[in-house]
Amino acid sequence: MPTTAHLQSRSLVDVQAIKDRKVHITHAHFNLHSSTPAVCVDRRHGIAALSIHARSKFPGLVSSRLQLHCRRPRALNSTTSEMATDTSTTKECKISFKNSSGDLLSGILVDVGSSDAAILCHGYADTKNGFHLPKLAQALVTKGCSTLRFDFTGNGESEGHFRYGNYAAEAEDVRCAIGLLHSHGKTVKAILGHSKGGDTVVTYAGTYDDIPKVVNVSGRFHLERGITPRFGKDIFDRLKQEKTIQVRDATVTSGPDGWTLTEEDMHERVSHDMRRLSDAIKKSSVLTIHGGADKTIPIADALEFAKHIRNHQLTVIDGASHNYDKPQHAQQLIQLAVDFMTAA
């Protein structure tokens, strides 16, 4: 299936040419050029497309196509009025359900009365009301889609202990959330996760592959990276010697002594294979959204997801940070995600 990247007109993406299936592209004001003969440029009707042909140097990119074009964001209000549904019957309530270990997880169910539902997942040390999840839920209401957002085990108001990494266990939390919605007569059409939550929903899809639409917002592909900036360059040596370390992190509410980082949890983080899981997704359609100015996780990670997931679309929002802090970037994110999640 094609891989599509929607980039803003002033975007600049520079991907270095390396082995296997990566390519080198530079995009700025639609002046594209390639560093390999395997990539050609086709420009017409304001769209610049890179068609990568089957050659010995790129055997995995047979009939693959990367499209880059200017996309002007539509105002969220115009879409919600276009797609307006009767929200008078919408019910929002706190709800709890058990994870596979018996811990109670805290969630918020927004029920519009339809059978279609989506699950929204927070990122590292965040909660169900963090990031832009409440606004995403509100936007999905206008499309007639119920939502469930919840705190992962050990986060927010949920029971259990906070653990670093923990991707497989959080994917099981998602599975329990799906079971809850099924018990309420809902069919889960889409799951979305931000940052670490993006890795969690990709992990779920790579394990079960039973949800039609998956949205990975700024997830990390290379999980062995991004560790030392958070814990220090000596973290691996310290864990090797001490086995456990108490971490005081203002974003994690785990008591006055903080939370415990174990050597086992660190190993789970660095060995969690996003490439294998991405390759395993055969049925789900995946949209990766990434900020063009993300300083937490580089765009190169988004391109890795695009390279390994069969049915994949990649959208880079020009100038957006990891958390899409500027209102216009948040609006673009919500528009893109909701359109994808509710498309027929």
Share of the chain above pLDDT 70, in %: 72
Q: What is the pLDDT of residues 104-115, one digit of tens each?
A: 999 999 999 999
Q: Binning pLDDT at 50, 70 and 90, where does residue 87 land?
A: low
pLDDT recorded at residue 42: 31
Element housing 260 (H / E): strand 259-262
Single-letter amino acid, residue 235? I
Q: How far apart are CA 169 and CA 201, in angstroms?
A: 12
Single-letter amino acid, residue 292? G
Q: How far apart are CA 143 and CA 80, in angstroms?
A: 8
Q: How far apart are CA 270 and CA 266, in angstroms?
A: 6
| 15 burial via Cβ count (<10 Å: 0-12, 13-18, 19+) | middle
Q: Binning pLDDT at 50, 70 and 90, where does residue 250 land?
A: low
Which residues neighbour 237 within 8 Å (Cβ) at sequence distance 6 or greater?
Answer: none
Mean pLDDT of 166-187: 97
Q: How many residues does the chain have?
A: 344
Evaluate if residue 170 carries a pLDDT over 90.
yes
